[in-house]
A and B are shown apart, each in its own frame.
Chain A
Amino acid sequence: MTVISGIKNTKTAPVILTEPRLVRWILTGVALGYLLLFLIAPLTMVFLSAFRSGLQVYFAAIMTPEALAAIKLTLFVAVIAVPLNILFGLSASWAITRFEFPGKQWITTLIDLPFSVSPVIAGLVFVLLFGAQSYFGPWLLFHNISVIFAVPGIVLATLFITFPFVARELIPLMESQGSEEEQAAMTLGAGGWQTFFRITLPNIKWSLLYGIILCNARAMGEFGAVSVVSGHIRGQTNTIPLHVEILYNEYNFSAAFAVASLLTLLALITLILKSLVEGRTRKQLATTPEDKHEY
């Protein structure tokens, strides 16, 4: 990796180091056209369609009992799934970056696995595990526990999908920070938990927050995996994205986009928080003592 030396700004660079004006214009035009067609247009479309039939229709669509139940369920699922995956992320990154053990590379690879499994397949495996035809099916039926087509299945599928987010952010950071500070604290007599809360946590807080934001956005927006295990029972096992699908398939477009606009707002808030936190993590990485050695 090369460290930036000297000039970075194109304005101050000599003429020969930039492209002819025409090329610059064409490239900028192509790039902006692409972003306009694929990002800005869909984003605008959501809000245009949501408010097309007026504010009254918009609020009526959001305030229906089904929509409110879907919002409640989505929040409930996120409140369970996100903290569990935070706990996992902290624990996995501690084990992986602070110790040497056989099979470490395997665990690191396996953590990324859910990223390359189709959401539909993620849902499918839980149906195979807990569905009526599964090994546990008869036992669950006997004890009157429903996992599939019920809330527990939705939570499990969400856990699977959002599994890597926190761990993925923390592992590289904690690897590069090293454990000198923690060891120093312990030499001075701090206990394990004390070291974690006083030294480790403050050191990783921005990256942790970054991971949580991404994890939460995905947990609230997941569609494919949740769709497989939910059973689509209105008012009971419908999350917000599933509710959007039902409204859309009923040709109730204004309502579908109205509810979708809530998720879009969530996405925009996520992006804003993300860019705020991103600046912090960069600063943090830049001040990591380990990083200064790198050329």
Chain B
Amino acid sequence: MERSGALPDRLVRGFRVRKSHGMPGFGLTLGFTVCYLSLIVLIPLSMLFFRVAELTPQVFWDIITDPRTVAAYRLSLSTAFIAAMFNTVLGLIVAWVLVRYEFPGKRIFDGLIDLPFALPTAVAGIALTALYAPTGMLGRIFALAGIRTAYSPVGIIIALTFIGLPFVVRMVQPVLEETDIGVEEAAASLGANRWLTFRRVLFPEIVPALLMGFTLAFARGLGEYGSVIFIAGNMPLRTEITPLLIMIKLEQYDYAGASAIALVFLVISFTLLLLINWLERKQSGSLSAG
């Protein structure tokens, strides 16, 4: 302990927390945790590998390079990406407005941000479809502008935007709340205008949270099923997302096809998520180093 003065506070604290001698229940809790995790998540997920391993490479390749499958992968990835980008930009604005400005009804708006987490996806799906269908209240307005919203890829993006809306807002909000206004004062007193202060001082602090929110929204969008199937129109090759294609294969009792498509989709999404995670760590690493 005599060296603790020389060590960073964080290290000592971490050491103290972890040095928990004599706490009971290790065997019981870890045993239950591992068993439950295996039974509910790991063993079921591993079935995907076993099932696909039964296929010959040729059959597997034919399934996943089928034009319909490739179109579904492409559609799922692109719509989830666009929706997550859209949510990143607008989520930042919403978080900014909620933290920095005052306006009537602010608390209600703030509370409603989490609605997509709480509202069942099927309900979101039918409500958005009713709104954005060509005869719907908002769909009619878009139709006047020549934009087809429901039953097109745009409809899928609308549904995924709803689903991913809270992530960026909820990631950025606490960061904005905790930024030291003194830094902004310093920047301003050194002659930086508001935009420069934001770009050079605030934005770098927000970037990790933005990326994190983007990743979560993107991951959620990739797998989303309930809200999309009502609004998408579900036309093969055009508006058929990957989870729906898996569902269709299942309904035809084509378990091999469903498993192959699902496995490749899982691998693609995990690779992308790991990649974004890696970028994120690199980003925050270079930020804290600089």
B-contacting residues of A (Cβ < 8 Å)? 1-8, 10-11, 13-14, 16-20, 23-24, 27-28, 30-32, 34-35, 37-43, 45-46, 49, 84, 87-88, 91-92, 94-96, 98-101, 107, 110-111, 113-122, 124-129, 131, 133-134, 156, 159-160, 163, 175, 178-179, 182-183, 186, 191-192, 195-196, 214, 217, 220-224, 227-228, 240-242, 244-245, 248, 253, 256-257, 260, 263-264, 266-268, 270-272, 274-275, 290, 293-295
Question: Of the candidates B37, B158, B250, which one forms a contact with A110 in the assembled complex, judged by CB atoms under 8 Å apart?
Answer: B37
Instruction: Collect the chain A residues with CB atoms within 8 Å of residue B138's CB.
Output: 37, 41
Question: Of the candidates B21, B33, B90, B225, which one forms a contact with A118 in the assembled complex, judged by CB atoms under 8 Å apart?
Answer: B225
* B266 contacts partner chain A, Cβ-Cβ < 8 Å: yes
CA A224 to CA B16, docked complex, whole Å: 44
Could you write out 13 A-B pairs with CB less than 8 Å apart?
A23-B194, A31-B93, A31-B97, A39-B112, A116-B273, A121-B262, A160-B40, A179-B23, A217-B118, A223-B226, A227-B225, A270-B118, A271-B114
Which of B44-52, B62-70, B278-286 lies at the interface with chain A?
B44-52
Most-contacted residue by chain A among B96, B126, B137, B225 (CB, 10 A): B126
CA A264 to CA B124, docked complex, whole Å: 9
Q: Are B222 and A118 closer than 8 Å at their CB atoms? A: yes
Instruction: Kindly provide the distance from the CB of A278 to the nearest chain B CB, expressed in whole angstroms.
Output: 9
CA A245 to CA B129, docked complex, whole Å: 13
* B58 contacts partner chain A, Cβ-Cβ < 8 Å: no
* B122 contacts partner chain A, Cβ-Cβ < 8 Å: yes
Question: Of the candidates A17, A110, A120, A156, which one forms a contact with B225 in the assembled complex, judged by CB atoms under 8 Å apart?
Answer: A120
Instruction: Collect the chain A residues with CB atoms within 8 Å of residue B118's CB.
Output: 217, 221, 266-268, 270-271, 274
Interface of B is mostly: helix
Instruction: Collect the chain B residues with CB atoms within 8 Å of residue A99's CB.
Output: 20, 23, 26, 30
Closest partner residue, chain B, to A261 (CB atom): B123
Instruction: Kindly provide the distance from the CB of B211 to the nearest chain A CB, expressed in whole angstroms.
Output: 16
Whether A290 touches B17, Cβ cut-off 8 Å, given contacts A28-B97, A115-B219, is yes
* B25 contacts partner chain A, Cβ-Cβ < 8 Å: yes
Instruction: Kindly provide the distance from the CB of B283 to the nearest chain A CB, expressed in whole angstroms.
Output: 17
Q: Tally B residues with Cβ within 8 Å of A.
A: 101
* B203 contacts partner chain A, Cβ-Cβ < 8 Å: no
Instruction: Kindly provide the distance from the CB of A273 to the nearest chain B CB, expressed in whole angstroms.
Output: 10
CA A101 to CA B47, docked complex, whole Å: 28
Instruction: Collect the chain B residues with CB atoms within 8 Å of residue A248's CB.
Output: 126, 230
Whether A38 touches B162, Cβ cut-off 8 Å, given contacts A88-B32, A119-B226, A260-B127, is yes
Instruction: Kindly provide the distance from the CB of B50 to the nearest chain A CB, expressed in whole angstroms.
Output: 8
What 1/0 flags go to B24-39 for Cβ under 8 Å of A? 1110111011101100
Q: Are A120 and B9 closer than 8 Å at their CB atoms? A: no
Q: Are B100 and A18 closer than 8 Å at their CB atoms? A: yes
Whether A121 touches B265, Cβ cut-off 8 Å, given contacts A10-B102, A17-B188, A293-B9, is yes
13 A-B pairs besides A31-B98, A115-B220, A117-B223 with CB distance below 8 A are A3-B180, A7-B181, A10-B101, A13-B181, A45-B137, A49-B130, A91-B29, A94-B29, A95-B30, A99-B20, A116-B219, A121-B265, A224-B224
CA A25 to CA B31, docked complex, whole Å: 56
Instruction: Collect the chain A residues with CB atoms within 8 Å of residue B258's CB.
Output: 124
CA A195 to CA B116, docked complex, whole Å: 38
Instruction: Kindly provide the distance from the CB of B231 to the nearest chain A CB, expressed in whole angstroms.
Output: 11
Instruction: Kindly provide the distance from the CB of B81 to the nearest chain A CB, expressed in whole angstroms.
Output: 15
Instruction: Kindly provide the distance from the CB of B53 to the nearest chain A CB, expressed in whole angstroms.
Output: 12
CA A106 to CA B231, docked complex, whole Å: 38
Question: Of the candidates A14, A94, A183, A223, which one forms a contact with B121 in the assembled complex, judged by CB atoms under 8 Å apart?
Answer: A223
Q: Are B47 and A125 closer than 8 Å at their CB atoms? A: yes
Interface of A is mostly: helix
Whether A92 touches B182, Cβ cut-off 8 Å, given contacts A31-B90, A264-B119, is no
CA A17 to CA B18, docked complex, whole Å: 43
Q: Are A34 and B94 closer than 8 Å at their CB atoms? A: yes
Question: Of the candidates B37, B120, B128, B194, which one forms a contact with A42 in the assembled complex, judged by CB atoms under 8 Å apart?
Answer: B128
Q: Are B48 and A125 closer than 8 Å at their CB atoms? A: yes
Instruction: Collect the chain A residues with CB atoms within 8 Å of residue B244's CB.
Output: 120
CA A256 to CA B125, docked complex, whole Å: 12
Instruction: Collect the chain B residues with CB atoms within 8 Å of residue A117's CB.
Output: 45, 223, 266
Instruction: Kindly provide the distance from the CB of A168 to the nearest chain B CB, expressed in whole angstroms.
Output: 12
Instruction: Collect the chain A residues with CB atoms within 8 Å of residue B41's CB.
Output: 110, 113-114, 160, 163
Q: Are A34 and B25 closer than 8 Å at their CB atoms? A: no
CA A19 to CA B17, docked complex, whole Å: 44
Q: Are B109 and A220 closer than 8 Å at their CB atoms? A: no
Whether A30 touches B42, Cβ cut-off 8 Å, given contacts A228-B250, A271-B112, is no
CA A128 to CA B249, docked complex, whole Å: 13
Instruction: Collect the chain B residues with CB atoms within 8 Å of residue A92's CB.
Output: 29, 33, 37
Instruction: Collect the chain A residues with CB atoms within 8 Å of residue B177's CB.
Output: 4, 8
Instruction: Collect the chain B residues with CB atoms within 8 Å of residue A178's CB.
Output: 16-17
CA A259 to CA B80, docked complex, whole Å: 29
Instruction: Collect the chain A residues with CB atoms within 8 Å of residue B219's CB.
Output: 115-116
* B270 contacts partner chain A, Cβ-Cβ < 8 Å: yes
What 1/0 flags go to B170-194 for Cβ under 8 Å of A? 0000000111111011001000001
